[in-house]
Amino acid sequence: MASFRASAGIIEARAGVEPSAVLEAARLAVADGWVVEDAFVDVEPLARGTGAPRVVVRFVVPTGNDAEEDADAWSAARALATAVGRVAEWSDLHVLRRSGGRWTPVERGQGSASPRE
């Protein structure tokens, strides 16, 4: 099974939405179709002054060829973005693949969850 991370920068939670609900929306969206290994908020970009905090969901994709796995990972990322978009304004959707002990970017798949990607 290949391991991936999908993440989105969180600009602002919608009015009345608790910050914890943003992470939970992301986690549940991915868990609906994939096995979630971890979910967290990465505040490092904010602390470094390089961007917004990011919701990050780590998940696995069933074994296939790399192209199929990458496409499936982007499907998970689009599900994350759709769910997060209901509770927060987001930008900058990313997918990373675990390869040889490193996280490497996966090129954007077909389709789009939002013009903000």
Residue 71: which domain range? 2-105
Asked whether residue 100 is domain-assigned, the answer is: yes
Asked whether residue 77 is domain-assigned, the answer is: yes
* CATH label of the domain that carries residue 69: 3.30.70.260
Asked whether residue 25 is domain-assigned, the answer is: yes
**What is the rounded distance in angstroms from the CA atom of residue 69 to the CA atom of residue 113?**
18
The number of domains in the chain is 1
Asked whether residue 111 is domain-assigned, the answer is: no
Range 14-24 average pLDDT: 96
Asked whether residue 114 is domain-assigned, the answer is: no
Mind spelling out the 3-state secondary structure of the chain?
CEEEEEEEEEEEECCCCCHHHHHHHHHHHHHCCCEEEEEEEECHHHHHCCCCCEEEEEEEECCCCHHHHHHHHHHHHHHHHHHHHHHEEEEEEEEEEEECCEEEECCCCCCCCCCCC
Asked whether residue 116 is domain-assigned, the answer is: no
User: Does residue 117 surpass a pLDDT of 60?
Assistant: no
pTM reported for the whole predicted model: 0.89
Q: Which pLDDT tens digit goes with each residue over 65-113? A: 999 999 999 999 999 999 999 999 999 999 999 999 999 999 986 434 4
